[in-house]
């Protein structure tokens, strides 16, 4: 359509923001917006922001300054630009963004993007709009379903938000203040979206939530379903060959979820299970409400249920008052657990969080030195895990063309990047591969001729249901 408007979305931060950005464009499609990769030509620019990292807000203001130059150059012409700031920085800063950045027309938080058409209409009438209330309506129910053609363009893997918000109130974290209390989508909503993704060619779905394993959605019978029961139901959807979920909290890893890891081959053997620190004193100051020993016992149970599972984690170094002994406890935990990968960061005070008011902030140079030591240990473990796959066979989902002609890129069950010489028609397929070489961040494999993947989720779920007499 010649009169169609275009929207450019720049996404920062976590996988949930990636999902949210897609749903924003879904909400805008019925009112005539199509997406563009060219910021300079866009009628609407949305910055979907993240507040987790240090100086997140300042980086957003810097980006607004660059975009303002494009907007000013088009002022007075027949193609004016609207600038919107969305996401967690928008939720946290609110009116301050409008005050500091006059080029911004619209500010809205993560719980308001289903109202985008209405908010844009208000902004189009000359108002500068700030929408950071937590609405009472279900935003997921209010969003239009994405068109199948749009979903197909997004590839063979997809994110699917099932839970939002957090009730844990870790003292370092802004999520409870920017995303609100824990809420879960209904089972019917999740299964409907998952079916539509499968019909559009998606083979792997990653369930998202700030505390995804705290999922407690309303089931068809009105009872609460946990994440484990939801995974068993998702495994029965034809075409969905792989399931993952992130991010988990150790306090919410229930028996039903551990059973899903034991019984569902389509639930990939890779679990992101953040612990943040190894010192019980620091864990207490963080308000994690678990100890290092609790974490070890949980990992033992998970590995007993799924021996091939690989773990990843999150770690914060230099939390206020952290001593060398506290940090050594983190190194000891990492050494004993053994991670396939992990994310580690220096503590940075987030405005409005209890941690920002704690005494005895650790000097920056001490945090940097400790982070370097932790990352060296984690990198060694990641290399060792990757090397352990040399010579092994595994199923690889081919997601995209590779770096070289005649090559495809995919993912192992353990989320490693895998490069294989394979024909383009195998895109979207899962094939058996033998790993012949290991790079710094990826595996190199060879296609095993006439060897399909070892199991399908439908066969897997049917077997489990038959053994259990149906999903409870």
Residue range 144-162, pLDDT digits in tens: 666 665 666 678 999 999 9
Q: Nearest to residue 470, comparing CAs of 462, 209, 39?
A: 462
Please report how the helices 255-263 and 227-234 are oriented relative to each other, as an axis angle in degrees rounded to 10.
Answer: 30
The rounded distance, in Å, linking the Cα atoms of 294 and 279 is 12
pLDDT in tens, the chain (472 residues): 346 899 999 998 888 889 999 989 999 999 999 999 999 999 999 999 987 766 777 888 999 999 999 999 988 777 889 999 998 889 888 899 999 999 999 999 888 888 899 999 988 877 889 988 876 556 677 666 666 656 666 789 999 999 998 999 999 998 888 888 899 999 999 999 999 999 999 999 999 999 999 999 999 989 999 999 999 999 999 999 999 999 999 999 999 999 999 999 999 999 999 999 999 999 999 999 999 999 999 999 999 999 999 999 999 999 999 999 999 999 999 999 999 999 999 999 888 899 989 989 999 999 999 999 999 999 999 999 999 999 999 999 999 998 889 999 999 999 999 999 999 999 999 999 999 999 878 999 999 976 566 554 444 444 444 343 333 2
Contacts of 466 (CB under 8 A, 6+ apart): none
Q: For 198-254, write each residue's pLDDT tens digit.
A: 999 999 999 999 999 999 999 998 999 999 999 999 999 999 999 999 999 999 999
Q: For 264-316, write each residue's pLDDT tens digit.
A: 999 999 999 999 999 999 999 999 999 999 999 999 999 999 999 999 999 99
The rounded distance, in Å, linking the Cα atoms of 230 and 116 is 30
**334 and 376 Cβ atoms separated by less than 8 Å:** no
Cα–Cα distances in angstroms (integers) from residue 222 to residues 141, 160, 161, 162, 383, in the given order = 17, 22, 20, 17, 47
Q: What is the pTM of this model?
A: 0.86
Residue 289 is classified by DSSP as: -
Contacts of 145 (CB under 8 A, 6+ apart): 26, 193, 196
Cα–Cα distances in angstroms (integers) from residue 412 to residues 122, 188, 332, 406, 407, in the given order = 47, 30, 28, 19, 16
pLDDT over 90 percentage in the chain = 71
Rounded to the nearest integer, the mean pLDDT of the chain is 89
**391 and 448 Cβ atoms separated by less than 8 Å:** no
């Amino acid at each position: 359509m010649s009169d169609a408007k275009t929207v450019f979305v720049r996404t920062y931060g976590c996988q949930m923001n990636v999902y949210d950005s897609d749903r924003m464009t879904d909400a805008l499609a019925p009112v005539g917006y199509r997406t563009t990769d060219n910021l300079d030509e866009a009628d609407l620019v949305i910055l979907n922001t993240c507040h987790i990292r240090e100086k997140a807000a300042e980086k957003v203001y810097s980006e607004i300054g660059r975009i303002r130059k494009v907007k000013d150059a088009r002022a007075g012409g027949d193609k004016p630009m609207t600038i919107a700031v969305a996401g967690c920085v928008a939720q946290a800063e609110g009116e301050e963004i409008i005050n500091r950045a006059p080029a911004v027309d619209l500010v809205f938080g993560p719980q308001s993007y289903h109202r985008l058409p209405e908010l844009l209409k208000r902004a189009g009438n000359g108002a500068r709009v700030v929408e950071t209330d937590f609405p009472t309506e279900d935003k997921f129910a209010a969003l239009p379903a994405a068109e199948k053609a749009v979903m197909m363009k997004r590839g063979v893997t997809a994110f699917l938000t099932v839970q939002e918000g957090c009730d844990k109130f870790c003292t370092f974290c802004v999520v409870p203040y920017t995303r609100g209390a824990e809420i879960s989508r209904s089972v019917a909503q999740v299964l409907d979206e998952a079916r539509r993704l499968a019909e559009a060619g998606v083979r792997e779905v990653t369930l998202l939530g700030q505390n995804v394993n705290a999922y407690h959605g309303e089931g068809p019978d009105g009872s609460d379903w946990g994440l484990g029961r939801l995974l068993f139901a998702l495994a029965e959807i034809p075409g969905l060959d792989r399931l993952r979920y992130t991010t988990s909290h150790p306090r919410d890893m229930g028996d039903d979820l551990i059973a899903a890891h034991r019984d569902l081959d389509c639930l990939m053997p890779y679990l992101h299970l953040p612990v943040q620190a190894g010192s019980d004193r620091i864990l207490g100051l963080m308000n994690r409400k678990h100890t290092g020993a609790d974490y070890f016992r949980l990992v033992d149970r998970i590995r007993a249920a799924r021996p091939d599972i690989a773990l990843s984690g999150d770690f914060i170094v230099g939390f206020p008052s952290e001593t060398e002994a506290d940090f050594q406890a983190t190194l000891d935990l990492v050494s004993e657990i053994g991670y396939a990968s992990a994310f580690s960061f220096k503590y940075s005070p987030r405005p409005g969080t209890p941690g920002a008011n704690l005494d005895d902030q650790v000097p920056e140079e001490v945090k940097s030195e400790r982070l370097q030591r932790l990352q060296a240990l984690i990198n060694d473990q990641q290399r060792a895990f990757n090397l352990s796959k040399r010579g092994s066979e595994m199923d690889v989902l081919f997601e995209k063309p590779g770096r070289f002609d005649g090559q495809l890129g995919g993912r192992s069950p353990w989320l490693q990047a895998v490069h294989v010489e394979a024909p383009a028609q195998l895109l979207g397929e899962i094939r058996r591969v033998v790993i012949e070489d290991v790079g710094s961040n990826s595996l190199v494999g060879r296609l095993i001729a006439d060897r399909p993947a070892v199991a399908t989720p439908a066969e897997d779920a049917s077997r489990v249901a038959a053994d259990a007499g149906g999903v409870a």
